[in-house]
Structure 1
Amino acid sequence: MVCYSGGRPPDPRKLRLLALVGVVAGAVALPLAVASAGQVGDAGQKVVRTPSRGQDRGERVDAKEPSAVPSRSPLILGLGLATAARCGPELTSPEGIEAQTCVLVQGTDTWARTYYRNATGKSLDSVLSLLGPGGRTLQTRCVTGADDEPATCETPRRHSRGGPSAYTAVTEFAERGAGGALLLRSGSNS
Structure 2
Amino acid sequence: MSREGAARCGPELVSPEGIEAQTCVMTGGGETWARAYHRNTSGAELRAVLTLMGPGGRTVELHCVLAADDEPGSCETPRSASAGDPGAYTAVAEYAGAGPVEEAPLLLRAGSHRAPGASD
- Same fold (TM > 0.5): yes
Paired residue for 2:7, among 80, 85, 91?
Answer: 85
Q: Secondary structure at the match of 2:78?
A: coil
- 1:131 aligned residue: 53
Higher relative contact order (CA 8 A, sep 6+): 2
- 2:110 aligned residue: 186
Residues 1:157 and 2:103 are matched in the alignment: no
Distance 1:133 1:115 in 2: 24
- 2:117 aligned residue: none
RMSD over aligned Cα, in angstroms? Answer: 1.0
Q: Secondary structure at the match of 1:112?
A: strand
Q: Which runs of 5+ in 2 are unaligned?
A: 115-120
1:143: how far off?
2.0
Superposition TM-score, scaled by structure 1 size:
0.57
Q: Secondary structure at the match of 1:156?
A: coil
Paired residue for 2:96, among 174, 178, 183?
Answer: 174
Q: Secondary structure at the match of 1:134?
A: helix
Distance 1:82 1:138 in 2: 21
Q: Which runs of 5+ in 1 are unaligned?
A: 1-80
Distance 1:89 1:117 in 2: 14
Distance 1:133 1:175 in 2: 31
Q: Whose helix fraction is larger, Structure 1's or Structure 2's?
A: 1
Q: Secondary structure at the match of 1:165?
A: helix
Residue identity matched to 2:63: R
Distance 1:100 1:125 in 2: 15
Moved over 3 A (4+): none
Residue identity matched to 2:113: N
Distance 1:113 1:165 in 2: 15
Same amino acid, percent of matched pairs: 61
Distance 1:183 1:82 in 2: 33
Q: Which has the larger radius of gyration?
A: 1
Distance 1:163 1:171 in 2: 21
